Amino acid sequence: MAKRNARISNAVIKRLPRYRRYLYELKKKNVEKISSQGLSELIGYTASQIRQDLNHFGDFGQQGYGYSVDGLYDEIGAILGLDKEYKVVVVGIGHLGKSIARFTYLYKSGFKICGLFDTADDVIGKTVRIPVMDVKRLVDFVEENKVDIGIICVPPEAAQEVCDKLCFAGIKGIWNFAPVDLEAPAKVVVENVHVMESLHTLVYRMNEK
């Protein structure tokens, strides 16, 4: 199904993975159809918001019938681009980089980690599913293998340099776990996971109570 409208707000986009997660749970329970009201009770958004969100992408539901769980799950996956495979490299194989390299769910859901990179002599050559390479090989590797996504797990002071290398090599997206804001050309999408900011928000809200 083609997108009805290419300019969909970030807020809607941010909600789609959440819809998909709930639909996945329903699939696992062999639920075949669900109304917007049923989705509303599960997810906590209003039924009208749900209908509005999903209408951006075409008519998934049928009046008085509800949404097909399988169909909606697949459509949202296709809209998000999760029906394709992506080649991924991880840069910085410390504790976090290792845990990402071993995160089975990534492989299962189409994110193929094909390269791991580090600068430390005692890490290069070790195997975390696949061997860790010297970061000096990063640019050539990304170019040659047409890698789509680079995951940055290096310390903050090294993150911009890694970002520059990935962009130079033609990466399309960067998933950044370093606690810095990166500068990248407009054609490269950067998505940050700033976990400490999330923890600090938690602490603030705990103290507020």
Binding site for its own copies (CB under 8 A): 6, 13-14, 16-18, 20-21, 43-44, 79-82, 86, 95-96, 98-99, 102-103, 105, 109, 111, 148-149, 172-175, 179-181, 187, 189, 191-209
CB of 60 or CB of 103, closer to its own copies: 103
Smallest distance, its own copies to C-beta of residue 201, A: 6
Name the one residue in this structure whose structure tokens are 């809607």.
12
Smallest distance, its own copies to C-beta of residue 27, A: 13
User: Which amino acid is it at 203?
Assistant: V
Selection from 89, 86, 175, 166 nearest residue 133 by Cα: 89
CB of 21 or CB of 126, closer to its own copies: 21
| Alpha-carbon distance values, 107 to 15, 111, 149, 154, 204 (Å) | 23, 5, 13, 21, 36
Q: Quick one: DSSP state of residue 59?
A: -
Distance of alpha carbon 125 from alpha carbon 195, whole angstroms: 29
* Segment (H or E) for 176: strand 173-176
Smallest distance, its own copies to C-beta of residue 147, A: 12
CB of 40 or CB of 137, closer to its own copies: 40
CB of 21 or CB of 112, closer to its own copies: 21
Smallest distance, its own copies to C-beta of residue 72, A: 15
